[in-house]
Amino acid sequence: MTVREQQQERERLTLANWATKSYASRGRQRPMEECPYRTCFQRDRDRIIHSKAFRRLSNKTQVFISPEGDHYRARLTHTLEVAQIARTVARALRLNEDLTEAIALGHDLGHTPFGHAGERALDEVCPFGFRHNEQSLRMIDRIEDLNLTWEVRDGIVCHTGGRKADTPEGRIIHFADRIAYINHDIDDAIRGGLIRAADIPRRLLDSLGDTHGRRIDTMVTAMISYGQQHREIGMDEKTHHEMLELRQFMFDYVYQGTEAQSEEQRAKNMLRSLYEYFVEHPDELPSDYFVLMTQGDPLERVVCDYIACMTDRYSISTYKKLFIPKSWNKIED
């Protein structure tokens, strides 16, 4: 037996009956010779980690646009926190950790610069609309062509929105994503002076926990208990409702109309300007993106691809190059 076959046999013997087994995968869009050492889901995880899109996450905004300080989350640190939470749940429920990790690491590959502000900007200007989960799937299918398994692709596109992932591992990511961003955004908002811990409703702190770690532990424990009882991914009604209340608190006091988003309109205007420029000057798109148009992809979609792939810094640099007179930059320097 190869190392991969030995691992597949361990999956058969140790994973729960409702877990997704790598040897039963629905496969890839194109056939690929099996790796002798890794299961298909382990291979997908590695292909994601080695992708250009994954590297760019380290320089993409999570919530706070251009934060001052080294400890605020970027899109990459968010992704790693989601993966850690998701793997803990998968391990406790004897589900497939490799599949869970691959989905977690790939779920935000299609996110724009400047977080959800950038997503809203492209959604407003692109005639086809823009959703970061759909863009993540386009990233791995069309732009980088990673040829991932059906289960990983399904989990990535279904991590948000109305459709649930087909696998329990994919459904874990929907919850793990919320657990991660609610709690780390509270942490960053307190660090940034936007809110105080005392501003959070006392009854939610008493029930969910009065520290970052305790709240995550409460929510993860709720997921594990629910899964053990129901062989499904979820939370008890009380904990789930309180988690959503905490999420709404963040929308009311942090995500909307606060100092944290004071730069949002500028970021949106900048990305709109970049979009309009490249729609009018498609010949200036990099060759990798121009090729997509020659293969039949609409210009507007390809321009969105290019902008969505930009990091915060690169989008600012491109905007300066296109719209700010060089003499002004010299004055600033």
Mean pLDDT, the chain, whole residue set:
93
Pick from 134-143, 151-160, 186-195, 285-294: least confident: 186-195
The pLDDT, as a whole number, for residue 149 is 98
Condensed to tens digits (0 to 9), the pLDDT of residues 30-50 reads: 999 999 999 999 999 999 999
Give me the mean pLDDT over the 299-326 stretch. 94
The pLDDT, as a whole number, for residue 71 is 45
Residue 173 near residue 107 (C-beta atoms within 8 A): yes
Give me the mean pLDDT over the 213-237 stretch. 98
Burial string for 265-296 (b: 16+ CB within 10 Å, else e) reads eebbebbeebbeebbeeeeebeeebeebeeee
- Helices 97-106 and 40-49, axial angle in degrees (round to 10): 30
Residue 137 near residue 156 (C-beta atoms within 8 A): yes
DSSP string, 11-30: HHHHS-TTSPPGGG---BSS
Condensed to tens digits (0 to 9), the pLDDT of residues 99-140 reads: 999 999 999 999 999 988 899 999 999 999 999 999 999 999
3-state secondary structure of 74: strand
The whole-angstrom separation of Cα 213 and Cα 205 is 12
Give this prediction's pTM.
0.94
Rg of the chain (C-alpha set): 21
- Residue in the structure block whose two tokens are 């968010």: 78
333 pLDDT band, cuts 50/70/90, is: very low
Tell me the domains of the chain and their CATH numbers.
41-260 (1.10.3210.10), 264-332 (no CATH)
The pLDDT, as a whole number, for residue 219 is 98
Using CA of residue 168, residue 169, residue 173, residue 175, what is the dihedral sign? positive
**Residue 220: alpha-carbon gap to chain centroid:** 19
- Residue in the structure block whose two tokens are 């605020």: 72
Classify residue 227 by burial, with Cβ atoms within 10 Å: 0-12, 13-18, 19+. buried
Please state, for a pLDDT cut of 70, what percent of the chain lies above it: 93
> Residue 74 — φ and ψ, nearest 5°?
-105, 175
Residue 177's nearest CA partner among 64, 79, 56 is 79
Other Cβ atoms less than 10 A from the Cβ of 225: the count is 15
Give me the mean pLDDT over the 204-222 stretch. 97
CA atoms within 13 A on the CB side of 39: 22
